[in-house]
Amino acid sequence: MKNSDIVKRDLDVLWHPCTQMKDHEWLPLIPVKKGEGVWLEDFDGNRYIDAISSWWVNLFGHCHPHISGAVQQQAAELEHVILAGFSHEPVVRLSEKLVQITPPGLSRCFYTDNGSSAVEVALKMSYHYWRNTGKPEKLKFITLSNSYHGETLGTLGVGDVALYKETYKPLLMEAITVPSPDAFLREPGSSWAEHAERMFAHMEAALERHAHETAAVIVEPLVQCAGTMRMYHPVYLERLREACDRHGVHLIADEIAVGFGRTGTMFACEQAGISPDFMCLSKGLTAGYLPLATVLTHDRIYQAFYDDYATLRAFLHSHSYTGNPLACAAALATLELFERDDVIARNRELAREMGEAFAHLADHPHVGEVRQTGMVLAAEMVPDKHKPEPYPWEERRGMIVYQHALKNEALMRPLGSVVYLMPPYVITPEQIRHLARVATEGIDLATRA
């Protein structure tokens, strides 16, 4: 079987995610035959380093024996069971573990089967908490500009990436949007921390004005990933936690992309020393094996729903695959690897290698900035090095980098004109340096004219 055999059949019957299907008239679709470690291999025998962890989900490489083994074992025991009225060991063990490793106070896990639905749960729970405690007027949400929380109608409503949102705007609830502390937009000469402090004034003003009608503030801690890997200083989260408490508004931390070590700590909130009221986790939760998501919250929220059935205070939300045992087994095996291999400590070395390998790009005439938070590194291509403004999206310059990378054993999929690395944690320094070379050549090609 060759690539072309699969591709032809695929294009007859599939509709791919986040894709203008007409692009595949000129852009090859790549059918993957197998994965091993950081490598993906197609049917023609070409190999690609998975530099973006297959959309940020993979943590320990493809077909990791420990996780594959755990899923196989679980598949022989119990593949799935309804989680209402029934329970199973993997979901209990996973919940105990998550309560133990997440920031203090988070003591309950509610499961869903993808990130967007986890965000929906956090939004609904927050509103429902206020309703159950006699404040039904608290029904709005505050969000940051350029934020991303998923693709469903509820999550698009609290997101702010125009490319995904604009078309559906007439269908969406309206959020209160506050300018992001995005460090790329800081004044020349000011630090990330100073910029975050200054930008917090907007949040403070929004809370003062809207707290009485607001259920929660929702943020992506430290890195706005889908918003082209824009980053900000943890002091913003410290201020936000304090202000949410003072104004009586929940804080939802969407750690779907940044959780599980991506920012250098297990959870990004740790860098600010804060506990949110709701924490959404997915993506790396199963190291890229199976769809699973969870929302953690604390006892005060839980207790506001705990009552006699007839009060109708219960959270009557569910998804068919909630708490799937195979996915929970994959998640447990993933967390075992974190402990067994001291992953967070080892990643510090890898993050340093990433920074060194890409440092030279900061001098590139068409790179506005090379930024990094832990295991996420991004180089932003700009027409004018002295202005933090991207190339017009219509030029699709990132696509040139993508195609160049494919020809050079790498899967790098820029976001607009932002080339980034978010690799599996089993990548080697040599592979990082290869990716840096390929990225540099790609950026040269993409910014030539």
- The response to whether 115 counts as a known ligand-binding position is yes
C-beta closer to ligand PLP: residue 54 or 133: 54
Do the annotations mark residue 289 as ligand-binding?
A: no
Considering only the stretches 131-139, 143-151, 209-217, 439-447, report the one whose residues sit in contact with ligand PLP under the rule CB under 6 A: 143-151
> Does residue 4 have a known ligand-binding role?
no
Query: Of 357, 301, 355, 341, which Cα lies nearest the Cα of 129?
Result: 301
Query: Residue 449 Cβ, how far from ligand PLP at the closest point, in Å?
Result: 33
Give the residue with the Cβ less far from ligand PLP, 291 or 429: 291
Q: How far apart are CA 386 and CA 343, in angstroms?
A: 38
Query: What's the count of helices (H) and strands (E) in the chain, helices before strands?
Result: 14, 16
Q: By CB under 6 A, is residue 115 in contact with ligand PLP?
A: yes
- Which ranges of 150-274 does DSSP label H, i.e. alpha helix? 153-157, 162-165, 192-210, 235-247
Residue (220 or 353) nearer to ligand PLP, CB: 220
Q: To the nearest whole angstrom, how small is the minimum distance from the Cβ of residue 161 to ligand PLP?
A: 11
Q: How far is the CB of 293 from ligand PLP (least distance, A)?
A: 6
Least separation in angstroms between residue 155's CB and ligand PLP is: 6
Identity at 229, one-letter amino acid code: M
The verdict on 276 binding ligand PLP (CB under 6 A) reads no
Residue 116 touching ligand PLP (CB under 6 A): yes
Decide: 256 and 219 in contact? Cβ < 8 Å: no
| 277: contact with ligand PLP by CB under 6 A | no
**Which 3 state secondary structure label does DSSP give 411?**
strand
- What share of residues in the chain are helix, strand, coil (percent, to 5)? 45, 15, 40
Question: Which residue lies nearer to ligand PLP by CB, 102 or 116?
Answer: 116
What are the beta bridge partners of residue 253?
Answer: 219, 279
Q: Is 320 annotated as a binding residue?
A: yes
Q: Report the nearest approach of ligand PLP to the CB of residue 282 (Å).
A: 5
Tokens of 262: 């991506």
Is 3 one of the binding residues for ligand PLP (CB under 6 A)?
A: no
Q: Which of 186, 296, 174, 293 is nearest to 233 (CA)?
A: 186
Contacts of 387 (CB under 8 A, 6+ apart): 368
Cβ contact 51:411 at 8 Å: yes
* 254 is a contact residue toward ligand PLP (CB under 6 A): yes
401-440 residues in contact with ligand PLP (CB under 6 A) are none
Binder of ligand PLP out of 35, 90, 150, 261 (CB under 6 A) = 150
3-class secondary-structure state, position 250: strand
- Site residues for ligand PLP, 195-224, by CB under 6 A, read 220
Q: How far is CA 164 from CA 18, 55, 138, in A?
A: 9, 16, 27
Segment 335 to 374, residues that bind ligand PLP, using CB under 6 A = none
Shortest-Cβ-distance residue relative to ligand PLP: 115
- Give least dist CB 78 to ligand PLP, A: 24
Count the residues in the chain.
Answer: 449
Write out the DSSP string of 14-33: ---TT--GGGGGTSPP--EE
122 binds ligand PLP (CB under 6 A): no
Known binder of ligand: residue 254?
A: yes
Stretch touching ligand PLP by CB under 6 A, among 59-67, 112-120, 401-409, 430-438: 112-120
d(Cα 111, Cα 89) in Å, to the nearest integer?
Answer: 14
How far apart are the C-alpha atoms of 314 and 304, rounded to whole Å? 9
The residues of the shown chain that bind ligand PLP, judged by CB under 6 A, are 114-116, 119, 148-150, 220, 225-226, 254, 256-257, 282
Known binding residues for pyridoxal 5'-phosphate are 115-116, 254, 319-320
